[in-house]
C-alpha cells in the first residue's frame, strides 16, 4: 500500500501540474495577441502594471519547485520498490540519463526565459520579443525548449490518463493534439518574427 505522506505529495504534485498547465494555456493564448500589436502591448501594460505578474510568478515558481521535488522522491521510491521494469516500457525505453538531461534542459530553459522576461522593458514587450528573436541562437533555443516541453507534457499526460484508466487510442490522440496545439501556439511567435519580420 502507498504511504499516506507519499499519497499527499502525489496529490500536491498533481495540483502543481494542473496550475502549470493552466498557466501555460493562459500564457500561450495571451502571447497569441502578438499578432495584433496594440492588443499585445495593452495586455502586457496591464499585466505588468499591478501585482498580478508577481503573484503569477510566485505561484509558478512554487509549483515548479514542488513538482520537481516530489518527482525526485517518487523516482527514488520507485527505484527501491521495483527491480524489474514494466514489460511494456522495456520495448521503447528512453535511457534514464537522457530523461534526466532533458528535464535539466527544460528547467534551464524556464529559468533563462524568466530572467530574460524580467529584463524586458515592461512598457514595450512587443519590441523586446521582436529583437530577441532576430537571433538564430535564441530561436533554436526556444524551439528546443518547446520540443522538450512537448515530450514532457505528452509523456506525463499519457501517464495521468493511464492512472485514470483511460488508455484508448482516441484519448491518446487528444493528448497529442492538445499538446501540439499548445507548444505549436508558442512556437508561432519566434518563427513568425525570424522568418517574417527580420
Ligand atoms: C516562444 C515561446 C514563449 C514566448 C514568446 C514567451 C513570452 C513571454 C513574455 C512576453 C513574458 C512576460 C514579459 C512581461 O511580463 O513583461 C513571459 C514570462 C514568462 N514566461 Fe514565457 N514565453 C514563451 C514560452 C514560455 C514557456 C514554454 C514557459 C514555461 C514552460 C514560459 C514561462 C514563463 C514564465 C514563468 C514567465 C514569468 C511570469 C509571467 O510574467 O507571466 N514561457 N514569457
Q: Is the CB of 194 under 6 A from ligand 1?
A: no
C-alpha cell at 179: 499538446
Task: Return all residues near 113 (Cβ < 8 A) that are at least 6 apart.
Answer: 142, 145
pLDDT (tens digit per residue) in 59-84: 999 999 999 999 888 878 877 776 66
Which pLDDT score is estimated for 44? 95
Distances (CA, A) of 56 to 42, 50, 59: 18, 11, 5
Q: Is the CB of 47 under 6 A from ligand 1?
A: yes
Q: Is the CB of 179 under 6 A from ligand 1?
A: no
Q: How far apart are CA 33 and CA 111, in angstroms?
A: 24
Q: What is the mean pLDDT of the chain?
A: 89
Mutate to test the pocket of ligand 1, among 34, 67, 117 (most ligand atoms within 8 A of CB): 117
Q: Report, as an integer, the average pLDDT of 103-109.
A: 96
Burial 101-123 (b: 16+ CB within 10 A, else e): ebeeebeebbeeeeeebeebeee
Q: What are the extents of the domains in the chain?
A: 4-196
Q: Residue 172 pLDDT more than 70? A: yes
- Please give the number of the atom of ligand 1 that sits closest to the Cα of 47: 15
pLDDT (tens digit per residue) in 134-160: 999 999 999 999 999 999 999 888 888
Q: How far apart are CA 192 and CA 185, in angstroms?
A: 11
State the pTM of this model.
Answer: 0.89
Q: Is the CB of 53 under 6 A from ligand 1?
A: yes
User: Where do the H-state alpha helices sit in the chain?
Assistant: 4-32, 37-49, 52-81, 87-91, 96-119, 125-132, 136-163, 169-196
pLDDT class of 85 with cuts at 50, 70, 90:
low
C-alpha cell at 20: 502549470
Amino acid at each position: 500500500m502507498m504511504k499516506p505522506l507519499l499519497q499527499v505529495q502525489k496529490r500536491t504534485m498533481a495540483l502543481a501540474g494542473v496550475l502549470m498547465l493552466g498557466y501555460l494555456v493562459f500564457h500561450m493564448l495571451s502571447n497569441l495577441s502578438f499578432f495584433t500589436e496594440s492588443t499585445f502591448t495593452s495586455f502586457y501594460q496591464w499585466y505588468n502594471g499591478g501585482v498580478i505578474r508577481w503573484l503569477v510568478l510566485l505561484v509558478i515558481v512554487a509549483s515548479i519547485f514542488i513538482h520537481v521535488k516530489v518527482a525526485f522522491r517518487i523516482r527514488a521510491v520507485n527505484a527501491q520498490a521495483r527491480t524489474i521494469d514494466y514489460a511494456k516500457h522495456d520495448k521503447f525505453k528512453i535511457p534514464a540519463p537522457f530523461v534526466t538531461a532533458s528535464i535539466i534542459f527544460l528547467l534551464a530553459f524556464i529559468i533563462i526565459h524568466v530572467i530574460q522576461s524580467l529584463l524586458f522593458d515592461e512598457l514595450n514587450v512587443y519590441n523586446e520579443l521582436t529583437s530577441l528573436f532576430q537571433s538564430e541562437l535564441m530561436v533554436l533555443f526556444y524551439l528546443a525548449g518547446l520540443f522538450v516541453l512537448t515530450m514532457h507534457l505528452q509523456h506525463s499526460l499519457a501517464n495521468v490518463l493511464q492512472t485514470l484508466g483511460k488508455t484508448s487510442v482516441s484519448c491518446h490522440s487528444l493528448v497529442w493534439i492538445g499538446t501540439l496545439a499548445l507548444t505549436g501556439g508558442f512556437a508561432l511567435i519566434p518563427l513568425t518574427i525570424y522568418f517574417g519580420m527580420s
